Homo-oligomer: A and B are copies of this chain.
Amino acid sequence: MTPTTGKVTLLSAGPGDLDLLTIRAANALARADVLLLDDLANEEIATLAPNARVIRVGKRGGCKSTPQAFIQRLMRRYASKGLHVVRVKGGEALLFGRAGEEITDLRAAGIEVEIVNGISSGFAAAAGLGLSLTHREHCQGVTFVTAHLQDHSEPDWAALAATRTTLAIYMGMGRIEHVCARLGETLAASTPAAVVQWAGTSRERRLLSRLDRVAADAAAAGFGSPAVILIGDAIGEAEGFAQAAREWVYSTHERAA
C-alpha cells in the first residue's frame, strides 16, 4: 500500500482554556497521528487527539529544552512517513514562537504546511480586563512586540511609543523595569498599564497600574512569566481602573503624610 501524503499542521492552541480553541483546531487534533506539544500549550489538549502519539517538545527561554533543529527534524521525519503531524503552539502560531522558521524549513523539504489560527494571550488579557485594545477615543491601533529579541538587542522603544498605539509586550517580565523606564522617556508617567499573567487560563491574574509604577507593583504582587504587559491610554478603560487609580492616589497621599 502506498503511504498517504503526510503534512504538518501548525496549530494555535490559544492561551490555555480548551474552549478557546477554534473548531478547526479541534477537528485537526481529532485527525492527528503525531502531536508535538509546546510547553506553553495546555497539556490537556492531548485529550482531543485520541489517536496521536504525543511528543513533548517544550522550549522555554533559558531553560533546558528541545533544540529547534530537532523539533523541525521530527516534523519532517513523521510527515515524510505520510503521517499527519500537528505541531501545537501556545497562543496564535503566527505571533512570535518561530512559526516562520518552521514554515520555511518544511516548505524547503516539500512538506505541506497547514496553519490553524488561534487566540493570542494579548487578546485574552484584554478580554479579562474588559477592554478593547483599540478604543477609538484613545488610539488607532495596537502593537504586539516581544522584548526578547533573537540577537539580544532590544526593540526601539521610543519609536514604538511614538506610534501612540496600545502596546502589548510579550516576554517582557524579565526586564519590565527597564522597558517601562525606556517607554517613560516618550510616554507620560501616568499612562495606564496592566499586567496579565496566565491570561485565558483558570490561573489568570490581573494587575492595573500606570507606567511609572507597574514594574514595582508587579514585583510586589509576585507577577512573573508568562505574562502580557499592556500599556496605553486604552488600558484606562479596564473594568475597575478608576477605582484602582483612586487607591493609588490614596496610598500616595498616605505615604506622603
Q: Which residues of A contact B (CB under 8 A)?
A: 14, 17-24, 26-27, 92-101, 103-104, 107, 113, 115-119, 123-124, 126-127, 130-138, 140-146, 149-150, 155-156, 159-160, 162-165, 200, 234, 237, 239
Q: What is the CA–CA distance of A239 and B115 in the complex, to the nearest angstrom? A: 12
Are B145 and A132 closer than 8 Å at their CB atoms?
A: no
Are A131 and B100 closer than 8 Å at their CB atoms?
A: yes
Query: What are 27 inter-chain pairs, A to B, with CB distance below 8 A?
Result: A19-B24, A19-B27, A20-B22, A21-B22, A21-B23, A22-B119, A23-B23, A94-B123, A94-B131, A95-B123, A96-B134, A99-B132, A100-B131, A100-B134, A100-B137, A100-B237, A116-B127, A117-B119, A117-B124, A134-B146, A137-B150, A141-B146, A141-B155, A143-B163, A156-B164, A160-B163, A163-B163
Q: What is the CA–CA distance of A160 and B164 in the complex, to the nearest angstrom? A: 9
Chain B nearest CB from A241 CB (Å) reads 11
Chain B nearest CB from A242 CB (Å) reads 11
